């Protein structure tokens, strides 16, 4: 696509907004990717203004990256899937935004991830990164599993793995448990020498700080440390349960894709039965946001005409 693209042809933007970043991808009307950009946090639960700024700046940057200087924000049809907007009050707040785009279609981050992974067909996803969550889409019906948040929910997630390791290490230092390998790994990670210093590093930290320990726990588990194996196995058993339960939402079984920063590392730990239900994700969440924007836009245009 060159800069001679006619302004009569609409351009679409798919946005995936979460607690750490906002990804925007610009597509032509055929769904061909033209350009992308990444900006800051876009979870309205942690700040509405910041979220809207991240959306505008990511879209502006993607448009600038495309070189299509004849287009402005007001020419774009935008679909956005944001974390946090499963809460009706936050959904309403973002919906009330006087956005600078031609159209703005809002849904959840889980919805666009599922649409992207299964190219709008029925399917389910398990996301496992800093948090964890399951989501299935069958026709117009969606089903959510888990994802209640840290530290009480989000079992199997990176933050959960980090917290479980930290708990066991504290018991180890008190002599009421044994986790020498994890204790050594955590001290090394934080470059400290005792349990009280570890507490100072982790007390009152957000889930993202705990999640940074997850790969270290996987490393210990793969090096046959029994305590790390126990943690990762418990996490994998939970993900197996999510996968089996999500896939049972339709007959024949729903295909499930596992996404997120820990998807790859968990593969070897999942049960054979769960693995049989897995399919690779066919597209990114931003593509799901594009598909959502297109379908909503068609419906909207249909109603308007």
Which residues share a beta bridge with 16?
Answer: 23, 81
Q: Is 187 exposed, middle or buried (0-12, 13-18, 19+ CB in 10 A)?
A: middle
Name the E strands within the chain: 11-17, 22-27, 33-39, 76-82, 103-108, 123-128, 132-138, 141-145, 256-259
Q: What is the C-alpha separation between 190 and 187, in angstroms, rounded? A: 5
What is the smallest separation between the CB atom of 302 and a second copy, expressed in angstroms?
Answer: 33
The answer to whether 1 contacts a second copy (rule: CB under 8 A) is no
Instruction: Looking at residues 172 to 231 of the shown chain, list those that interact with a second copy (rule: CB under 8 A).
Output: 174-176, 195, 199, 202-203
Q: What is the C-alpha separation between 245 and 274, in angstroms, rounded? A: 10
Residue 66's CB is within 10 A of a number of other CB atoms, namely 21
Of 212 and 282, CB closest to a second copy = 212
The answer to whether 145 contacts a second copy (rule: CB under 8 A) is yes
The answer to whether 135 contacts a second copy (rule: CB under 8 A) is no
The answer to whether 131 contacts a second copy (rule: CB under 8 A) is no
Among 7, 9, 141, 148, binds a second copy (CB under 8 A): 148
Q: What is the C-alpha separation between 35 and 64, in angstroms, rounded? A: 9
- Number of residues in contact with a second copy, rule: CB under 8 A? 24
What is the smallest separation between the CB atom of 202 and a second copy, expressed in angstroms?
Answer: 7
The answer to whether 146 contacts a second copy (rule: CB under 8 A) is yes
Q: What is the C-alpha separation between 195 and 274, in angstroms, rounded? A: 38
Of 208 and 245, CB closest to a second copy = 245
Residue 95's CB is within 10 A of a number of other CB atoms, namely 12
Among 96, 152, 251, 272, binds a second copy (CB under 8 A): 152
The answer to whether 167 contacts a second copy (rule: CB under 8 A) is yes
The answer to whether 47 contacts a second copy (rule: CB under 8 A) is no
Of 63 and 126, CB closest to a second copy = 126
Report the residue count for the chain. Answer: 305
Among 170, 179, 256, 259, binds a second copy (CB under 8 A): 170
Question: Quick check: helix, strand or coil at residue 103?
Answer: strand
Q: Which stretch binds a second copy (CB under 8 A): 2-10, 148-156, 260-268, 292-300?
A: 148-156
Q: Which of 35, 102, 23 is nearest to 67 (CA)?
A: 35
Q: What is the C-alpha separation between 239 and 126, in angstroms, rounded? A: 8
Name, in order, each residue with C-beta under 8 angstroms of 274's C-beta and a sequence gap of 6 or more.
239, 240, 243, 244
Among 35, 125, 242, 254, binds a second copy (CB under 8 A): 242
Among 5, 208, 245, 271, binds a second copy (CB under 8 A): 245
The answer to whether 155 contacts a second copy (rule: CB under 8 A) is yes
What is the smallest separation between the CB atom of 228 and a second copy, expressed in angstroms?
Answer: 17
Q: What is the C-alpha separation between 182 and 187, in angstroms, rounded? A: 9
What is the smallest separation between the CB atom of 241 and a second copy, expressed in angstroms?
Answer: 4
The answer to whether 149 contacts a second copy (rule: CB under 8 A) is yes
Token output for 160: 């959960």
Binding interface with a second copy (CB under 8 A): 145-146, 148-149, 151-153, 155, 163, 166-167, 170-171, 174-176, 195, 199, 202-203, 238, 241-242, 245
């Amino acid at each position: 696509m060159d800069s001679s693209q006619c302004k009569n042809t609409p351009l679409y933007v798919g946005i995936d907004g979460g607690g750490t970043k906002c990804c925007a991808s610009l597509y032509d009307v055929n769904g061909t990717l033209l350009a992308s950009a990444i900006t800051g946090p876009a979870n309205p639960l942690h700040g509405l203004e910041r979220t809207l700024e991240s959306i505008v700046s990511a879209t502006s940057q993607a448009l600038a990256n495309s070189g299509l200087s004849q287009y402005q924000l007001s020419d774009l049809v935008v679909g956005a899937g944001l974390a946090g907007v499963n809460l009706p009050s936050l959904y309403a707040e973002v919906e009330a935004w006087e956005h600078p785009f031609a159209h703005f279609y809002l849904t959840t981050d889980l919805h666009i991830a599922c649409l992207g992974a299964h190219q709008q067909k029925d399917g389910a996803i398990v996301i496992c990164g800093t948090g964890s969550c399951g989501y299935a889409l069958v026709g117009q019906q969606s089903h959510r599993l888990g994802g209640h948040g840290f530290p009480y929910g989000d079992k199997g997630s990176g933050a959960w793995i980090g917290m479980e390791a930290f708990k066991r290490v504290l018991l180890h230092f008190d002599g009421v448990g044994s986790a020498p390998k994890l204790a050594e790994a955590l001290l090394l990670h934080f470059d400290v020498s005792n349990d009280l210093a570890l507490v100072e590093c982790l007390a009152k930290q957000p889930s993202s700080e705990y999640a940074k320990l997850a790969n270290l726990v996987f490393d210990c588990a793969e090096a046959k440390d029994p305590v790390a194996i126990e943690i990762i196995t418990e996490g994998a058993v939970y993900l197996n349960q999510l996968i089996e339960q999500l896939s049972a939402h339709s007959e024949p079984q729903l295909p499930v894709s596992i996404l997120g920063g820990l998807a790859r590392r968990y593969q070897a730990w999942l049960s054979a039965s769960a693995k049989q239900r897995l399919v690779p994700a066919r597209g990114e969440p931003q593509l799901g946001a594009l598909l959502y924007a297109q379908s909503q836009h068609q419906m909207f245009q249909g109603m308007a005409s």
